[in-house]
Structure 1
């Protein structure tokens, strides 16, 4: 189901859904209030939900609704990312949405659900990201990243050779990282799964570095470390 108060945004997501063989749009809506009524009648597995809508925002709808399907938020406003992830969403898509980013979000939905991922098409994952530091774009290979910490409006990316302070929030950088390699373990920390050397009920170790596990992330970390 797609919920957005702008018709072009709905049409774009409908187009993307039509390009994947195992997704189907069962309903669309221009408001969260209308969507609430539709969800009582339709069987929906995945909800693409816009944040900025009249009368009731997507975030308010999330906070005040029970038994919702899995949710992928869509918005033109980057600053809502952290609050969205705290509401246990699958992913956060920043408009304008590319097909590659849409595909990655759908893949994350399959990875985080009991459904078998049967999407046959593939979009190669990047193995790096470019970040801007002091007006210079630095290439950072995903394999070199140890962990990332939040510094309010900035993040610090710790790699095996250096650390970079970037003007970006932690929710936004999480969108750019492959879910197969990275996991958020705390409101302020993302870690590389392959770099974890030990863990307890309260923290994760990467070599000699101890990173706290947030209360709301404990189950995710325990599942990850058991696998």
Structure 2
């Protein structure tokens, strides 16, 4: 669990819904509500001045809706969408959000969302801590079960790893190997020069050939940077390139 406070921002044009979120937030000592905004423009101006870790964002709002607003942010915080409609679930998850809460939001459902956020940020910090350590001697390869046999895969040959629900696809130069494993579990088996940039992708930082604010390029493949990973990923890549 994170020891520091998580700065939160509520963006909702419905006062009753915003007040309910405020009450839920007050139940958690590690959550700090910085402000509550009634529209996207007000929220945008506040994000320029305040450091926000977690955004509770309503989808249906006058002017700019929550999904368009999230897409407009270059360095968005982690996002939990709040809405009275189920219709936006698929579209919102394409933005790699933490969670999607249906109104009225109960304290039990709110707690699950906060646990998701804390687990994700803890895993990110662990991944980046491993990436910044000096290289140590250790295992240089891993055996993975594919097509009923165990195949040796050298860590240095792995370009990136992609999640396929209950499987992961290990992308190597000229070939791919698929094995039954959750990407979060597989991540723990990799050495420090691998880190998560999206809920569906882990990359080998030594294989990155280019990057933008939205994606990383490895061997001609553009790998998206997830919204909730973006801030730390870009900071890490800029620091790495500056040290080279």
TM-score under structure 1 length normalisation = 0.55
Work out the number of aligned pairs and report it: 140
Contact 1:5 1:30 in 2 (8 A): yes
CA RMSD in angstroms, aligned pairs only: 2.8
Alignment gaps of 5+ in structure 1: 118-183, 208-215, 223-227
Offset of 1:114 from its aligned partner?
A: 3.8
Q: For residues 52 and 27 of structure 1, do their structure 2 counterparts lie closer, same or farther at Cα, with a shift above 3 Å needed?
A: same
CA distance in structure 2 between the partners assigned to 1:204 and 1:101 by the alignment: 35
Partner of 2:83: 75
Partner of 2:24: 16
CA distance in structure 2 between the partners assigned to 1:112 and 1:65 by the alignment: 20
Contact 2:96 2:199 in 1 (8 A): no
Q: 1:106 aligns with which of 109, 114, 124?
A: 114
Q: 1:90 aligns with which of 98, 101, 104?
A: 98
Q: For residues 204 and 3 of structure 1, do their structure 2 counterparts lie closer, same or farther at Cα, with a shift above 3 Å needed?
A: farther
Q: What does residue range 1-227 of structure 1 map to in structure 2 within 5 Å? A: 1-114=9-122, 185=163, 190-191=165-166, 199-201=169-171, 205-206=179-180, 218-219=200-201
Contact 1:185 1:221 in 2 (8 A): no
Partner of 1:124: none
> 1:135-166, CA deviations, whole angstroms, 9 ceiling, x for partnerless residues?
xxxxxxxxxxxxxxxxxxxxxxxxxxxxxxxx
Q: For residues 220 and 100 of structure 1, do their structure 2 counterparts lie closer, same or farther at Cα, with a shift above 3 Å needed?
A: farther
SS state at 2:32 partner: coil
Partner of 2:129: none
Contact 1:110 1:116 in 2 (8 A): no
Q: For residues 221 and 52 of structure 1, do their structure 2 counterparts lie closer, same or farther at Cα, with a shift above 3 Å needed?
A: farther
SS state at 1:72 partner: strand
Offset of 1:219 from its aligned partner?
A: 1.1
> 1:62-114, CA deviations, whole angstroms, 9 ceiling, x for partnerless residues?
11111111110000110101111111111110111111111111111111114
Instruction: Considering Cα pairs closer than 8 Å and 6+ residues apart, tell me whether 1 or 2 has the greater RCO.
Output: 2
